[in-house]
Amino acid sequence: MILAFILFVFKGRKAKLAPDANIKLKYDDDDLLLLTPGPVKLHPRVLKALSSPVRYHREKSFIDSLNFVTKSISNLEGTNNLTVPITGSGTAAMDSAISSMVKRESKVLSFVNGAFSERLYNISRYYSDNVTPYFKEWGKAITGEDVKKALEDKEFDFVTLVHNETSTGVLNPMDEVMQEVNKGGAISIVDGVTSVGSDRVEVDRWGIDAMITASQKCLGGPPGVSFVTLSKRALSVIEKSDRGQNYYLDVRNYIKGGKVDVPFTTATPLVIALQEAIAMIYEEGLDNRINRHRLMGKAVRAGAQAMGLELLAERGHESNTVTAIKIPDKAESVVSQGKRYGVLFAGGQGKLTEKIIRIGHMNTVGEREVLTGLSVLDAVLTDLGIAHETGKGTLAALKEFSSAGSN
Ligand SMILES: Cc1ncc(COP(=O)(O)O)c(C=O)c1O
């Protein structure tokens, strides 16, 4: 009798709380909603371009496509400076910018407030014996005051920093930062991998000498190509010596007669796909695209906070392309449980592993993706028994959409 009662309760519970394993749709890896901070989901038009016949990298029609891509990237960065394409992910362009200019005896100042600015610091140490780090807590922004402090009574040949720190969701205030950097006169090397194409970048106005970006994030292309945009000052540093410290990544190999050259086989399908992605940026309009990214960032932050979650980024310096949310000790479980519902969030990197999740809102991410992402996050937190305000995330996001007049 008692056993029958227990079985009855157990059966009832099972039916109520969790759907039968047999009727659950298993999302495969081709069908996940990517809310990672890159690589981003590719629009079907970009996927189609990616599958077009392979081009010969020295043939005119391909060179025209490559020129369109590099000139557009300069344009999206607010400059006519020369953009050099590198075959390799964003780290290849970071390595290229540094190894092409920095010498063993060069004095380098590296601002470090996250995993990618730390990478610039580590690459600098590969090529120079004279690198000074300026560490800031991960989650805090580098400010003009920090630059002032770091430069006090000291002179540097190069300064490295990241514009949008993808590992923490912090957007460094470039107006004030670059103003102070330029007072020191050093050549600036800036990583714009998660800003160029989706946020305001003003290379000429800010006076950036080497701007780095990559295909697979804010530009909306497939991973595998990256870019370095060089100012006249940077080019004059390069012209002063006939070689950098890395053969394949030396920008000297990619420039002939002041124009982009293709010394080695370019990843032609990736460039053709990126050309289509950039055409879509122009169709949307850069200002519209930036405003959309800002709104999606606002909605994700409002949603997370309405659920009672805490953001990592210092207030006033939040990124428009990625949001880092604190989930102490359970971040990796949230990421893997999210996959069960077909949504892929990213976890934390380095010292932030297991402490945060990151939601990317780049490229094609719009209202559908933000509302889906917040609902799935809500469901996952419920599943894992993590305290939060259920049902409030999507409502807060909807409020942001409606006050922006987007619905
Ligand atoms: C700010 C930033 N810099 C550089 C990179 C380059 O990394 P990868 O070599 O994986 O493209 C990334 C990628 O996440 C990034 O977000």
Indicate whether residue 362 lines ligand 1 (CB < 6 A): no
pLDDT band at 24 (very low <50, low <70, confident <90, very high): confident
Asked if residue 151 has its Cβ within 6 Å of ligand 1, the reply is no
Q: What distance in Å separates the CA atoms of residue 254 and residue 382, rounded to the nearest whole number?
A: 53
Q: Is cis: bond before 39, omega within 30 of 0?
A: yes
Alpha carbon distances (Å) from 87 to 7, 217, 262:
62, 16, 10
Q: Report the distance separating Cα 2 and Cα 302, nearest Å.
A: 49
The DSSP H or E segment spanning 372 is: helix 367-383
Look up tokens 């953001």; give the residue: 311
Residue 162 CB less than 6 A away from ligand 1 = yes
C-beta of 225 in contact with ligand 1 (< 6 A)? no
Nearest CA to ligand 1 atom 16: 166
How many whole angstroms separate alpha carbon 75 and alpha carbon 366?
Answer: 24
Best residue among 34, 138, 194, 228 to mutate for probing ligand 1, ranked by most atoms within 8 Å of CB: 194
Q: How far apart are CA 80 and CA 185, in angstroms?
A: 21
134 Cβ closer than 6 Å to some ligand 1 atom:
no
Report which DSSP code applies to 138.
Answer: B
232-239 vs 90-101: helix crossing angle, rounded to 10: 60
Please give the average per-residue pLDDT across 227-248, as a whole number: 97
User: At 405, is the pLDDT very low, low, confident or very high (cuts 50, 70, 90)?
Assistant: confident
Q: How many CB atoms lie within 10 A of CB 223?
A: 17
* Ligand 1 geometric centre to CA of 199 (Å): 16
H or E element in which residue 225 lies: strand 225-230
State the DSSP string of 331-370: HHHHHHHHHHTTEE-EE--GGGTTTEEEEE--TT--HHHH
Q: Which domains does the chain have, with CATH numbers?
A: 20-37+285-403 (3.90.1150.10), 44-281 (3.40.640.10)
Instruction: Answer whether residue 22 shows pLDDT above 90.
Output: no
Place of tokens 């923490």: 168
pLDDT average, residue stretch 314-318: 98
pLDDT above 80: residue 17: no
Q: Span 73-78, mean pLDDT?
A: 98
User: How far is ligand 1, taken at its centre, from the CA of residue 90, in Å?
Assistant: 5
- Asked which of 16-25, 149-158, 200-209, 227-236 is least confident by mean pLDDT, the reply is 16-25
- Ranges of H-type helices in 131-209: 144-151, 174-184, 203-206
Ligand 1 center from residue 246 Cα (angstroms): 19
**If you measure from the C-alpha of residue 196 to the centroid of ligand 1, how many angstroms do you get, rounded to a whole number?**
12
Separation of first and last alpha carbons in the chain: 57
Give the pairing type, strands 356-360 and 108-112. Answer: unpaired
| Percent of the chain whose predicted confidence (pLDDT) is above 70 | 94
Tell me how long the chain is: 407
Please say if the pLDDT value at position 183 is more than 60.
yes
Read off the pLDDT of residues 278-315 as tens digits, 9 standing for 90 and up: 999 999 999 999 999 999 999 999 999 999 999 999 99
